[in-house]
Amino acid sequence: MPTRPVLVYDGDCGFCTSSVTVLQRLLHPDCSITPWQFADLAALGTTRRRAESEVLWITPAGTVYGGAQAVARLLLRAGKGWAVLGALLTLPPVSWVAHGVYRIVANNRTRLPGGTPACAALPARDDRAAQGPAGP
């Protein structure tokens, strides 16, 4: 298991890659960031199917957060004012809205700036039970 959290994203998707680059520049998070295509997903406790459908935040303890909750954990880790936004994203009803917005963006990333056919996300499938707790 890693000693720091790991953010796993779709390295084939121009929109995802650009988003991660901007987030790194703005947040300077204390984590490892890697495309799922170069990650040992089994060692991280997740699957290719899940990594293809959403960004993942994996804690050193092996907890896997996906989608909007992964973004929330990234913001929490960034500290300062970002942590407040991250905390809000974990609380209902904000977390419900964040999930919906994340799914809309993820399902339409081929249409967003930098998006290509390689960005086509697989439909989200709730296979999290096999990967451990997904968190709040």
Q: What is the pLDDT of residues 115-129, one digit of tens each?
A: 555 555 555 444 443
pLDDT (tens digit per residue) in 62-112:
999 999 999 999 999 998 899 999 999 999 999 999 999 999 988 887 777
Bridge partners, residue 64, by sequence: 58
Q: Looking at residues 9-13, what average pLDDT do you find?
A: 90
8 A C-beta contact, residue 67 and residue 14: no
6 alpha-carbon distance from chain centroid: 9
What does pTM read for this prediction? 0.82
Q: Which of 76, 68, 70, 75 is nearest to 94 (CA)?
A: 68
Beta strands in 1-136 (DSSP E): 6-9, 32-35, 56-58, 64-66
User: By three-state DSSP, how is residue 24 classified?
Assistant: helix
Per the prediction, the chain carries an average pLDDT of 85
User: Residue 135 has what pLDDT?
Assistant: 41
